[in-house]
Structure 1
Amino acid sequence: MLLQEAEMFMNRVNQNISATQQTFAETEVQRARERLDKASLAFNTFKNQNREINPSQSAAGASDYITSLESKLVSLKVEEASLKRQFKDHSTPEVAYVTDQVDELQRQINEERALLVNPEGKDLNRIVAEGSKLETEMMLATEALKSSITAADNSRQRTQQQVKFLVRLADPEVPQLQAMDWRWKGFLGTLGVLIVLWGIGTFALGIVDRR
């Protein structure tokens, strides 16, 4: 009866542990999903508020646009310098036209640069920084959800395997009854010692009487 109760107790404990582990794994999956939902909502809200689908691409596009304007400005400045060497009077229409283009292009480049960092303009530096942070959080939440799902699946498989697992205690050593033969063995041993002593004493007295 004690063996059966012990086996039932150990099996029940193992099953409870497995169930607790499975519940914990499923709870972690739920938390990971809530974290991903929260991160996705925050990122999408941020993009809607700033009217940017991909802030990083927008910043890269603006940077490329400014680079192209600067390249064009360099070409116009080279052309302007060449015309000024050709015409001594820099107010001639040919020179003035190119000079106006250089000034206008320089002004446009300055405005585009200011819009990138100005809070009242595009403010792409802040948008890119905050957008990158929110996007990173969403990626981390996605990876956490994948890891939680994998851990939950592994826990579920282990639980199913342990349902069929039963603990079997080793056969115990059954205690024996108390040995009672020591009494008569002790009595016989004592009697034997007395007989031997009596025989030795009798033998010794017989030798003395003969002398």
Structure 2
Amino acid sequence: MSESKVAIKRSDDLNSGSLNFGLLLGASNPSSAEDALYLKEYINSPDMLAALDKQLNFREAFSHSGLDFLNHLSKDETAEGFLKYYKDRINVSYDDKTGLLNIQTQGFSPEFALKFNQTVLKESERFINEMSHRIARDQLAFAETEMEKARQRLDAICKAELLSYQDNNNVLDPQAQAQAASTLVNTLMGQKIQMEADLRNLLTYLREDAPQVVSARNAIQSLQAQIDEEKSKITAPQGDKLNRMAVDFEEIKSKVEFNTELYKLTLTSIEKTRVEAARKLKVLSVISSPQLPQESSFPNIPYLIACWLLVCCLLFGTLKLLL
């Protein structure tokens, strides 16, 4: 019988040296314990048997039992019988105190028992790697899908809404234009106030029909017309005026900013997922490698001899009675 002991650890556990301390303290990680039980079930599964039969010609090897007719495997054995026979030739036990999985394999020769155990370890490592990487791939694929959705939403808003709005209204930023128009109106209002003050000053010593007074009044009227025109661009009720355009533009701009932040979050999430997936990758650590057995525990020689003696006695007794 060949024996090996393994533990399932995360890559960050190995880097931090928690493997040795954990085992010395007799502690096992709940996640590792769960993975070990998964591995135990896989080792006892038809999938593992199929892999072993392909690599070791398992059925052929155990069909040549020599004189050990009690442990003989028929070449025509059913799949169910083959699996039951395989489970009798391997023993997998889990120690919940140390977190170690103990694997014992039997063979009709020490060399086959060793190769049997080594192949089980190789397939177990492949299983753990595949399971670990599949989880990481699924997490990363989900994050990348969400990132692509966020990117598409951002592109749709930027191109279909923002650019279309700017092109249709022939305006780059209605808010900036509205602010500029308001600043201009305030400036013109200040000029008008100053001109009205100057007009009142003129009226203190000039008649109403004086050329200077008439000119000042005309200038004030022209300035007021300009003020009214600029105000109409900002506050007129038509839908193409700056106040309405600024509200619509702010709504689109808010969508763009929100989806931009969402896209940034998905990019950050992908990077975190990559790091976390790499950190949580699991490895099969061989604590005790399988060795070439020096003593035979299978087949059980004394038991086999006793069975043969019993059979011989029965045959001898039967022949004696017949003769």
Q: TM-score, normalised by structure 2?
A: 0.47
Provide the residue aligned with 2:43 in structure 1. 5
- Aligned residue for 1:28? 146
2:162 matched to 1:43?
yes
For residue 153 of structure 1, what is the aligned residue in structure 2?
A: 271
Show the 5 A alignment for 1:181-200: none
For 2:193 and 2:239, locate their aligned partners in 1 and report how far apart those are by CA, in whole Å.
Answer: 26
Identity of aligned residues (%): 23
The 1-side partners of 2:203 and 2:258 are apart by: 59
Contact 1:116 1:122 in 2 (8 A): no
Q: Letter of the 1:73 partner, please give it.
A: K
Cα distance in 1 for partners of 2:202, 2:240 equals: 37
**1:7-156 alignment runs, 5 A limit:** 12-41=130-159, 42-87=161-206, 89-120=207-238, 123-156=241-274
Q: Does the 8 Å contact 1:117/1:123 carry over to 2?
A: yes
Deviation at 1:13, TM superposition (A): 4.5
Tell me how far 1:119 sits from its aligned partner: 4.8
Inter-partner Cα distance in structure 1 for 2:181 and 2:208: 34
Q: Deviations along 1:98-135, whole A, 9 cap, x unmatched?
A: 01111221122122212222254850001111111111
Aligned-pair CA distance for 1:2? 4.1
Distance apart, 1:18 and its partner CA: 2.2
Question: Which structure has the higher relative contact order (CA within 8 Å, separation 6+)?
Answer: 1
Unaligned runs of 5+ in 2: 1-38, 45-123, 288-323
Structure with the largest fraction of helix: 1
Q: In the alignment, residue 30 of structure 1 is paired with which amino acid?
A: E
User: 1:64-115: CA deviations, max 9, x gaps?
Assistant: 111111111011100110011112x211111111011112211221222122
> Which whole-Å deviations, capped at 9, do the CAs of 1:2-36 have from their partners, x for residues lacking one?
46627677765544332221111000110110111
Residue identity matched to 1:5: I
- The one-letter code matched in structure 2 to 1:86 is Y
Gaps of 5+ in 1: 171-211
Which amino acid in 2 is paired with 1:127?
A: M
**Do the aligned residues in 1 keep the contact of 2:129 with 2:283 (CA within 8 Å)?**
yes
Kept after mapping to 2: 8 A contact 1:15/1:162: no
SS in 2 for 1:166: strand
Q: Which of the pair is proportionally richer in strand?
A: 2
Farther-moved stretch of structure 1 (113-122 vs 38-47): 113-122
Specify the SS of the correspondent of 2:283.
Answer: coil
Query: Number of aligned pairs?
Result: 169
3-state SS, counterpart of residue 86 of structure 1: coil
The CA deviation string for residues 171-195 of structure 1, in whole angstroms up to 9 with x for no partner, is: xxxxxxxxxxxxxxxxxxxxxxxxx
